[in-house]
Amino acid sequence: MRYGFVIDQRKCIGCHACTVACKEENHVPLGAFRTWVKYVERGRYPETRRYFSVLRCNHCDDAPCVTICPTVALYRRHDGIVDFDGARCIGCKSCMQACPYDALYIDPATQTAAKCHYCAHRIEVGLEPACVIVCPEQAIIAGDLDDPTTRIARLVATEQVQVRKAEQGTRPKVFYLGADTAALTPSMQSPTAHYVFATRPQAEVDLVRMVEEVQRMEPRADGAASRPVYDAPHLTRPWGAKVSAYLWTKSVAAGSLLVAALAALLGASPASPLLGLAPPVIALLFLAITTALLVLDLKRPDRFHYILLKGNPRSWLVLGAWILIAYGIIAVVWLLASATGTPGLLRALAIPTMVLAAGAAGYSAMLFGQAEGRDFWQSPLLLPQLLIAAVAAGAATLLVVGALGGAAPSALTRLGWLLGASLVGNAVLLFAELGATHANVDVTRAARLITRGHYAARFWIGVVGAGIGVPLLLLGGAPGHAAAASVAAVLALLGLAIYEDIWVKAGQSIPLS
């Protein structure tokens, strides 16, 4: 049994009855929508036409929101309905990033995520979803796709239907009959700042203007333009400054001990304060800041412990939490071994410390990879970029500490060369990521936002110039000079922070629906 929908766009009149019925049946709060109707106009006057796109959760057979949810608040039932348990939700918003269809929202009353659940409470007593029974044109057909005797199964088998974003591999179960492809595909639409009978939220207008700027760089066939003229409001960027800051603080936390362990493995004395006491103190301090940022970013921070007590072992939010805990433990052991003067133990800890530090730095690549709604975050270069960024952040932090603590010029020189090498590696990866041919138009637009659009000044001046170019010049001239090394390290850390911020924002700037 697999419940699904067919939306017959040939019959839809854009009356919003389905939206109203859904809100009434499920007590959906003002400003939030589980199903909504988007108006898209195509062509140029006088050859124009308006299309109505009925959008909602697609109840995917391979639902990425279920995989990424850290507390099993989202789950797929035996009948194919993707349902939601608000009592387990911690409000991490990861499901909103994983869904390619923009189907989830944060309920302002409960501060938990919510979405269409196929009116499961009605299905269980033999009734159809509220949107189906209220549609005046019978444009919404619901039923069991696995039962060949049902109307929906016959339509899917005999009619030319299409789904949204089939390339995502989610196997969605909302099929569209007679729909215009451009009306279902945001990348084929020219964004507009105003609607025909509604006002767009200012945050959406600002985002539209950013995307419009990079879209003007693309060729467009004359007369083929389509544009949305009405849509429901959506949360523009579920993950904000706390998430980008967490990536940066985690780089410092992981990189400091990673550099110390690497140095110990290569024969440096781990008993020195710069490699013995300072790295675990820095790691634990920034690990605590990282944890605080993650908890504070939750809509239900009071439930943060659900990640450990009700965890989904497939979610990298959960796996990452366990990695950070293990890394924190080994940082404490390193600190105790250094404080008690046991260099042999420190050398024995070098390899497991490097493994856990690399895991702490790099697990976010898998987490962002599970955010399948954001194509820009699906790069295979993300993991090496995070690892090199951690080395750069660790070397830079230890350079500052060593310069302030009066470390030997030879130690500062070695750290300076390591920082310089990691900055060069980071630059190569950044230009490979942003300048290469991209998988689709959404990734291309996100990259252009960074290199040629809204974030270009911050990228070229803050990241490339101040964060990479100037530090390399300073380190090349006097790698062991305390003042020059300190300035180079601070600028490198600043550049890393700026890039994390614009990378997170650019990935969320491309509309999903």
Q: Name which residue leads in pLDDT, 490 or 201.
A: 490
pTM: predicted TM-score of the whole model, two decimal places: 0.94
Q: Which range, of 101-110, 204-213, 373-382, averages the lowest pLDDT?
A: 204-213
In percent, how much of the chain has pLDDT > 90? 80
CA 118/CA 104 separation, integer angstroms: 13
pLDDT tens for each residue of 434-470: 998 898 999 999 999 999 999 999 999 999 999 999 9
pLDDT tens for each residue of 342-367: 888 888 999 999 999 999 999 999 99
Residue 446 sits in which domain range?
A: 241-507
Whether residues 184 and 259 fall in one domain: no
Which H or E run includes 37? strand 35-44
Q: Which range, of 91-100, 122-131, 326-335, 408-417, averages the lowest pLDDT?
A: 408-417
Q: Which range, of 119-128, 172-181, 222-231, 309-318, averages the lowest pLDDT?
A: 222-231
Q: Which of 168, 189, 210 is the last residue of a domain?
A: 189
CA dihedral 178, 182, 184, 188 (to 10 degrees): 170
The answer as to whether 228 is a domain residue is no
Model pLDDT, residue 220: 63
pLDDT of 497 over the 50 cut: yes
pLDDT of 315 over the 70 cut: yes
CATH number, residue 363: 1.20.1630.10
Whether residues 15 and 114 fall in one domain: yes
Whether residues 132 and 251 fall in one domain: no
The answer as to whether 419 is a domain residue is yes
Q: Which of 151, 174, 189 is the last residue of a domain?
A: 189
Whether residues 403 and 295 fall in one domain: yes
Model pLDDT, residue 477: 76
CATH number, residue 63: 3.30.70.20
pLDDT of 137 over the 80 cut: yes
The answer as to whether 72 is a domain residue is yes
Whether residues 162 and 265 fall in one domain: no
Kindly indicate the confidence band of residue 480, based on its pLDDT and cuts at 50, 70 and 90: low
Tell me the mean pLDDT in the region 237-256: 97
pLDDT of 406 over the 90 cut: no
The answer as to whether 40 is a domain residue is yes
Q: Which range, of 19-33, 197-211, 231-245, 251-265, averages the lowest pLDDT?
A: 197-211
Tell me the mean pLDDT in the region 304-322: 96
CA 233/CA 199 separation, integer angstroms: 9
Peptide bond into 46 cis (omega under 30): yes
CA 243/CA 238 separation, integer angstroms: 10
Kindly indicate the confidence band of residue 222, based on its pLDDT and cuts at 50, 70 and 90: very low
The answer as to whether 221 is a domain residue is no
CA 293/CA 350 separation, integer angstroms: 28
Kindly indicate the confidence band of residue 376, based on its pLDDT and cuts at 50, 70 and 90: very high
Q: Name which residue leads in pLDDT, 197 or 162.
A: 162
Whether residues 146 and 262 fall in one domain: no
Tell me the mean pLDDT in the region 207-211: 90
DSSP 202: H
Q: Which range, of 213-227, 298-312, 419-433, averages the lowest pLDDT?
A: 213-227
**Angle, alpha carbons 59-9-30 (nearest 5°):** 60
The answer as to whether 198 is a domain residue is no
Model pLDDT, residue 194: 87
Whether residues 134 and 31 fall in one domain: yes
Tell me the mean pLDDT in the region 379-400: 97
pLDDT tens for each residue of 55-71: 999 999 999 999 999 99
Whether residues 183 and 245 fall in one domain: no
Give the count of domains, the chain. 2
Q: Which of 159, 174, 189 is the last residue of a domain?
A: 189
93's tokens:
């918003």
In percent, how much of the chain has pLDDT > 70? 98
* φ and ψ at residue 177, rounded to 5 degrees: -110, 120
Kindly indicate the confidence band of residue 223, based on its pLDDT and cuts at 50, 70 and 90: very low
Query: Across 36-45, 86-95, 220-229, 344-353, which has the greatest mean pLDDT?
Result: 86-95
**Angle, alpha carbons 96-234-97 (nearest 5°):** 15
pLDDT of 224 over the 80 cut: no
pLDDT of 325 over the 90 cut: yes
Model pLDDT, residue 479: 62
Q: Which range, of 40-44, 71-75, 245-249, 460-464, averages the lowest pLDDT?
A: 40-44
Nearest to 114 by CA among 95, 138, 142, 135: 95
**Angle, alpha carbons 423-390-291 (nearest 5°):** 145
Kindly indicate the confidence band of residue 268, based on its pLDDT and cuts at 50, 70 and 90: confident
Whether residues 268 and 371 fall in one domain: yes
Which H or E run includes 84? strand 82-84
pLDDT of 118 over the 80 cut: yes
Whether residues 322 and 439 fall in one domain: yes
Whether residues 171 and 258 fall in one domain: no
Model pLDDT, residue 333: 95
The answer as to whether 208 is a domain residue is no
Q: Are 395 and 377 in contact (CB under 8 A)?
A: no
What's the chain's average pLDDT?
A: 93
The answer as to whether 439 is a domain residue is yes
Whether residues 246 and 111 fall in one domain: no
